[in-house]
């Protein structure tokens, strides 16, 4: 079977004009160059030895992903590393309560013209409360139930459902709504009551019956889950 190059040469020769040997050599040379260029364009997207084309684009994309992942893990280590220096699991969770209440106070200090700031603060609050709830629901509340403190654990987890309802309500509400501040104020009161029950009633009585090993295990688990949610 004739190759694509041979067919092209034959077609040109039957057109009535014979090429000189020098012309044919130049033609073959040009065709060879085109084939080399084509094979270079079709090389693996992961061959980063030569620039240009898909390879460079994919290389840059993968490098960007790697940098992004490294930055994300660095942020996680920084955020949870700071919390780990606070102390035991109950101190970590109390610090998170204070941080959430501080965000509420910033939200309450805004007015209807500061819609962008309100949205940013709500995003920050949502992340903080999601992380906090995950640590409690995956580690602390199950430990409370194992210790026979089931009623309180169920009540606290039920209040997390109210937290999600308030977050949804604020996300659906316009940031310039006349009822925005009042909703935030009610929400803050719920978080304050919830935190007080945990810090002053439930957690102290639970912790005093833990062994050092049990306490350390809960602290490690809270830090682990906090890292993944940071």
pLDDT on residue 227: 86
CA dist list (Å): 79 to 33, 35, 128, 225, 226: 56, 54, 11, 12, 9
Per-residue pLDDT of the chain (230 residues; tens, 9 = 90+): 444 444 444 444 444 444 445 555 555 555 555 554 444 444 333 333 344 444 554 454 455 544 544 444 454 445 545 555 779 999 999 999 999 999 999 999 999 999 999 999 999 999 999 999 999 999 999 999 999 999 999 999 999 999 999 999 999 999 999 999 999 999 999 999 999 999 999 999 999 999 999 999 999 999 999 887 87
Helices (H), the chain: 4-13, 21-41, 53-84, 89-108, 115-135, 141-146, 150-172, 180-196, 203-207, 212-229
Give the pLDDT score at 48: 30
pLDDT (0 to 100) of residue 52: 43
Directed axis angle between helix 212-229 and helix 115-135, to 10°? 140
Q: Which of 158, 92, 100 is nearest to 128 (CA)?
A: 100
Q: Note whether 102 and 136 are within 8 A (CB).
A: no
Would you state the CATH architecture of domain 86-229?
Up-down Bundle (1.20)
Domain boundaries, the chain: 4-41, 86-229
* 115 Cα distance to chain centroid: 24
Mark 81-95 as b/e (b = at least 16 C-beta within 10 Å). Answer: eebbeeebbbebbbe
The distance between the two most distant Cα atoms of the chain, rounded to a whole number of Å, is 104
Three-state SS string over 75-97 comes to HHHHHHHHHHCCCCHHHHHHHHH
* pLDDT attached to residue 86: 74
Q: State the SS3 of 45-61.
A: CCCCCCCCHHHHHHHHH
Q: What pLDDT does residue 228 have?
A: 76
């Amino acid at each position: 079977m004739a190759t694509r190059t041979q067919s092209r040469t034959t077609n040109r020769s039957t057109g009535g004009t014979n090429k000189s040997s020098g012309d044919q050599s130049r033609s073959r040379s040009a065709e060879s160059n085109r084939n080399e260029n084509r094979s270079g364009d079709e090389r693996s997207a992961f061959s980063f030895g030569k620039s240009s084309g898909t390879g460079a684009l994919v290389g840059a994309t993968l490098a960007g992903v790697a940098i992004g992942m490294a930055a994300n893990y660095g942020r996680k280590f920084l955020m949870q590393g700071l919390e780990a220096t606070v102390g035991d699991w109950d101190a970590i969770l109390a610090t998170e309560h204070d941080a959430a209440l501080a965000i509420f106070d910033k939200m309450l200090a805004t007015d209807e013209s500061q819609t962008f700031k309100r949205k940013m603060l709500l995003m920050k609050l949502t992340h903080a409360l999601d992380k906090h709830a995950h640590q409690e629901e995956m580690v602390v509340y199950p430990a409370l139930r194992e210790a026979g403190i089931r009623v309180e654990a169920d009540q606290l987890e039920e209040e997390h459902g109210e937290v999600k309802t308030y977050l949804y309500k604020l996300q659906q509400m316009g940031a310039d709504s006349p009822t925005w501040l009042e909703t935030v104020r009610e929400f803050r009161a719920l978080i304050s009551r919830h935190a007080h029950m945990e810090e002053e009633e439930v957690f102290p009585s639970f912790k005093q019956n833990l062994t050092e090993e049990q306490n350390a295990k809960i602290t490690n688990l809270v830090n682990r889950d906090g890292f993944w949610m940071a």
